[in-house]
Amino acid sequence: MKKILLALGLALSVALPALAQAREVTFTTELTDYRGDGAYLALYLTDASGAYQGTLWVAGRKSKYYKHLRGWARGSRLDPAEYDGLTGASITSGRTLKITLDLDDALIDSGYEVRVDTAVEDMRDNRADVAVPLTTGGAGTPVPGRGYVRSFRYDF
């Protein structure tokens, strides 16, 4: 009997992680017509106190400029493992970046925040150009940024 229970426990401990639900989320970032070079953006998660939790996407492929995305750079320590497979080109003034990815349900309605740092060469850097809680209720609501982001929203 003990052996059966042990086997069952082991099986459950392996199966339960696989049962964790993931949800498709689309992040839409519209930039203003700021009349400058392509903008570098870092979309990332923080906890309620602002501590870095993980990278969602980095727009801009010259890593030497990543230090200008200050909040994200500090939290990720610019460790390539944090953004491997999550990079693309910088975004031109006035354009809209749409990213669709799968996130664990556990990250939603749990006090996590989505932040967007932005930077443009020879112009100002914006730490937390956008900072919004990641919640079911917040989905679909556009919010203005403080710098180069005209509007940001996420949808499930």
Partner 1 sequence: MKTRSVIVSLTVLCLSAPVLADDDCDDPVTDWQPREHLRQKLEAEGWTVYRIKVDDGCYEVKGLAPEGFGAEASFAPATLELMELEREDDDEDEEDDEDEDNGEYGYRDNRGDGQARDKAQTNRPVPHNGIVKGRPTVTVE
**Interacting residues toward partner 1 by CB under 8 A:** 22, 35-38, 45, 53-57, 61-64, 80-93, 95-104, 107
Q: For the CB of residue 23, give the shortest distance to partner 1 in the complex, in Å.
A: 10
**Which of 21/136 has CB closer to partner 1?**
21
* Closer to partner 1 by Cβ: residue 56 or 131: 56
> Quick one: which of 138, 129, 144, 143 has its CA closest to 156?
138
CA distances from 133 to 97, 119, 136 (A): 19, 22, 9
Distance CA 102, CA 95 (A): 23
For residue 95, give both structure tokens.
């354009």
Of 96 and 141, nearer to partner 1 (C-beta) is 96
Shortest gap between Cβ of 11 and partner 1 (angstroms)? 23
